[in-house]
């Protein structure tokens, strides 16, 4: 709240005329004693005058007991004298009594009584009380909140020439508080206040000229008023000029020396923003010699005054050992202070640190806490990492929501990839291959390598798009060259199989090796198996996608987005089937069955009519049943196997575990499907 107590000097000047008419009490002489510091004689005169009913003397006595001038400070006696003066109609006494009620000093706090006495003084034309009563109405203190009445009383004081009230009237017109917004009036009232030397209003007159608010835009006058405000000691204007000289704004030539000069003036008034920017100039060496120690000292000053960016910068200095000894514990402490003060950069940093375990123990709960703080502050960079935390916690619906929010603001393509992955695998939403492909494509268009590899897979398999092995190879190659292990592994397999390109075993081994070097653990197994297959091929001149060792056959499965695919031949046609432990036998998509029929690999005699099929959840469905004359898996053959056809184009081809187990006992070891023949 804006507060004010009576000034004895003000009382002296205003009370002279009254005192001169009341020479028997000699109040003016008492005031002279008081001003000269002769409290002993002053109090004798004021006490005598007060006993004779002089309201001014009562008020001054109240003030002396209020502040302890010449007497022992006694708030109760102060209130008693203020009340006597107020009840006699003295507006100084009324005003000060109101302040005592407002503070609860010497009397029980009572906002209603405070507003009542402010009103009595205000109605007598005392502008300080008019301002205070306006504040009561603005804030709803002791009266019902009423912005129109607040404006009314501010205007009363402003019309008497009070510079502060004039500024408040300008603010009312600016914000539409109790009066219609009117930029012309905003400028007019700020100008009246500024002309009286109000440094805050001088800044805002400059603001009006800069933006053309209520007056014709004029950059030169804007700079003049900003400078006048700064010269008159308004700390924010000093800081603002410092900013302008540092950046070369306001049409000013960039000048680091002048920037530092104005920053220092504001800093002397404990302006934490100025102190923080002085630290920045020492840190970057702008206009001064780079000095991390000085930067740290200034940031520490600003941080102690609550500057969150300074707290964040101190955390960075401890983390990097700049200007101080490196200390990760202190770095986290300062990042935490900045984050608690609302610094979104610190909130985001802590969220990432706790998620990835950077200099702290990994803690998803703390990561969520800080990232949600940053997200609530609309810091869009937090959206994507927040989604990753939910993903790590397997809260896929929440993760999907935040991936989508990240895409709405800013995204490098990785978020689009995750959304595609979720639609492909039914995480947090229903499975939808069309949407999955669409999102993967958006990721690939933003040069996201994982998105490229996934689009390539859809082209390789012909899922919701026409099968195109050349496009698949091209996308795998682009992803691999960007250093993504999954792209490198798939490119290696493409070279080995001659998928979309000429077969090249050397490049197959090279790219699979790159995948292992980049941390793909599953590629390590694939590389070992690939070497065996190539060795077999070099020895016998025949390629096979499996390794035989006695009665054990090891088949390479391709893991794509957590799904394993088994290379098979259906009536001689190559196809990759999803290995589904929950499925019964074999399931074909309608378009694959149509392709087999067009190739003459399925005949009318092979279509056996409709039957029922059980899926993983135990439910049964009517399906079209066909006879597959030859299913080849790992060089082993199953003859005359019944398969169902899904009435859905581009549906995954499913190979049930029950079908494979007809060949022998089945075990899985990473990428390897191992069949132990009986």
Residues β-bridged to residue 672: 556, 669
Residues 6+ apart with CB under 8 A from 657: 579, 580, 581, 583, 666
- CA–CA distance, 82 with 92 (Å, rounded to integer): 8
Sign, Cα dihedral of 517, 521, 523, 527: positive
For residues 57 and 49, the answer to whether their CB atoms sit within 8 Å is yes
Q: What is the pLDDT of residue 542?
A: 60
- CA–CA distance, 496 with 514 (Å, rounded to integer): 15
Residues 6+ apart with CB under 8 A from 159: none
Q: At what angle do helices 308-320 and 328-340 cross, to 10 degrees?
A: 170
- CA–CA distance, 366 with 378 (Å, rounded to integer): 19
- CA–CA distance, 135 with 41 (Å, rounded to integer): 38
Count CA atoms closer than 13 A to 167's CA, side-chain side. Answer: 15
Residues β-bridged to residue 503: none
For the beta carbon of residue 81, count every other beta carbon within 10 angstroms.
26
- CA–CA distance, 449 with 437 (Å, rounded to integer): 14
Count CA atoms closer than 13 A to 492's CA, side-chain side. Answer: 27
- CA–CA distance, 37 with 42 (Å, rounded to integer): 9
3-state secondary structure (DSSP) of residue 492: helix
- CA–CA distance, 528 with 515 (Å, rounded to integer): 12
- CA–CA distance, 307 with 311 (Å, rounded to integer): 7
Q: What is the mean pLDDT of each run of 10 residues along the chain (678 residues)?
A: 40 40 65 90 93 93 93 96 96 95 96 97 96 97 97 97 97 97 97 97 97 96 97 97 95 94 96 96 94 96 95 96 94 96 95 94 96 94 95 96 93 94 94 95 95 94 91 96 93 92 94 93 84 79 64 75 80 82 75 85 88 64 85 84 77 76 79 76
Question: Residue 239: which H helix or E strand, with range?
Answer: helix 235-247
For residues 483 and 497, the answer to whether their CB atoms sit within 8 Å is no
Could you give the domains of the chain? 234-340 (1.25.40.10), 342-410 (1.25.40.10), 446-538 (1.25.40.10), 552-676 (2.40.70.10)
- CA–CA distance, 450 with 457 (Å, rounded to integer): 11
Matching residue, tokens 């980049």: 518
- CA–CA distance, 213 with 225 (Å, rounded to integer): 14
| Token digits of residue 150 | 């607040």
- CA–CA distance, 115 with 554 (Å, rounded to integer): 90
For residues 240 and 252, the answer to whether their CB atoms sit within 8 Å is no
- CA–CA distance, 57 with 88 (Å, rounded to integer): 12
Q: What is the pLDDT of residue 2?
A: 30
Q: What is the pLDDT of residue 15?
A: 44
- CA dihedral of 131, 133, 138, 139, whole degrees rounded to 10: 120
Q: What is the pLDDT of residue 574?
A: 82
For the beta carbon of residue 137, count every other beta carbon within 10 angstroms.
23
């Amino acid at each position: 709240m804006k507060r004010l107590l009576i000034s004895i000097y003000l009382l002296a000047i205003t009370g002279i005329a009254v005192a001169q008419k009341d020479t028997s009490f000699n109040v003016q002489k008492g005031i002279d004693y008081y001003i000269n510091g002769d409290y002993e004689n002053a109090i004798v005169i004021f006490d005598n005058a007060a006993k004779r009913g002089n309201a001014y003397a009562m008020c001054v006595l109240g003030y002396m007991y209020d502040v302890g001038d010449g007497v022992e400070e006694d708030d109760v006696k102060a209130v008693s004298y203020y009340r006597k003066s107020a009840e006699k109609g003295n507006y100084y006494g009324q005003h000060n009594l109101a302040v005592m009620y407002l503070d609860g000093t010497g009397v029980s706090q009572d906002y209603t009584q405070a507003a009542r006495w402010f009103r009595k003084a205000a109605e007598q034309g005392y502008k300080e009380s008019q301002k205070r009563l306006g504040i009561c109405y603005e804030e709803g203190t002791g009266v019902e909140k009423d912005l129109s009445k607040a404006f009314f009383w501010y205007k009363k004081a402003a019309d008497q020439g009070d510079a502060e009230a004039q500024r408040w009237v300008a603010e009312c017109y600016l914000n539409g508080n109790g009066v219609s917004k009117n930029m012309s009036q905003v400028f007019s009232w700020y100008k009246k206040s500024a002309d009286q030397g109000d440094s805050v209003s001088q800044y805002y007159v400059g603001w009006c000229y800069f933006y053309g608010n209520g007056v014709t835009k004029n950059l030169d006058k804007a700079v003049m008023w900003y400078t006048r405000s700064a010269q008159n000691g308004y700390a924010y204007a000093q800081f603002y000029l410092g900013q302008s000289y540092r950046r070369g704004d306001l049409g000013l030539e960039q000048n680091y020396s002048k920037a530092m000069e104005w920053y220092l003036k504001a800093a002397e008034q404990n302006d934490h923003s100025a102190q923080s920017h002085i630290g920045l100039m020492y840190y970057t060496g702008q206009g001064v010699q780079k000095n991390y120690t000085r930067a740290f000292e200034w940031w520490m000053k600003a941080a102690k005054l609550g500057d969150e960016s300074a707290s964040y910068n101190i955390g960075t200095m401890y983390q990097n050992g700049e200007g101080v000894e490196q200390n990760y514990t202190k770095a986290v402490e300062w990042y935490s202070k900045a984050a608690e003060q609302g610094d979104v950069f610190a909130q985001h940093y802590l969220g990432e640190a706790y998620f990835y375990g950077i200099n702290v123990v990994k803690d998803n709960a703390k990561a969520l806490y800080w990232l949600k703080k940053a997200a609530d502050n609309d810091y869009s960079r937090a959206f994507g990492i927040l989604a990753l935390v939910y993903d790590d916690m397997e809260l896929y619906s929440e993760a999907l929501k935040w991936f989508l929010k990240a895409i709405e603001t800013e995204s490098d393509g990785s978020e689009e990839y995750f959304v595609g992955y979720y639609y492909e695998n039914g995480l947090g939403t229903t499975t939808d291959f069309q949407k999955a492909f669409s999102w993967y494509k958006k990721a690939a268009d933003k040069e996201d390598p994982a998105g490229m590899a996934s689009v390539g897979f859809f082209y390789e398999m012909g899922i919701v798009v026409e099968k195109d092995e050349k496009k698949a190879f091209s996308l795998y190659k682009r992803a691999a060259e960007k250093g993504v292990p999954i792209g490198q592994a798939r490119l290696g397999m493409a070279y080995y199989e001659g998928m979309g390109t000429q077969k090249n075993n050397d490049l197959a081994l090279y790219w699979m090796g790159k995948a292992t070097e980049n941390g793909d653990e599953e590629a390590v197994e694939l590389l070992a198996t690939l070497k065996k297959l190539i060795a077999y091929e070099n020895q016998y001149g025949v390629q096979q996608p499996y390794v035989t060792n006695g009665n054990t056959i090891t088949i390479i499965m391709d893991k794509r987005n957590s799904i394993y695919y088994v290379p098979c031949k259906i009536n001689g046609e190559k196809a990759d089937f999803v290995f589904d432990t929950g499925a019964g036998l074999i399931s074909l998509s309608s378009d694959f069955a149509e392709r087999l029929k067009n190739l003459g690999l399925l005949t009318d005699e092979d279509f056996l009519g409709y039957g029922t099929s059980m899926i993983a959840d135990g439910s049964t469905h009517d399906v079209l049943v066909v006879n597959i004359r030859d299913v080849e898996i790992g060089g082993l053959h199953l003859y005359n196997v019944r398969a169902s056809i899904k009435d859905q184009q581009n549906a995954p081809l499913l190979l049930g575990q029950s079908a494979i187990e007809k060949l022998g006992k089945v075990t899985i070891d990473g990428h390897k499907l191992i069949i132990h023949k009986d």
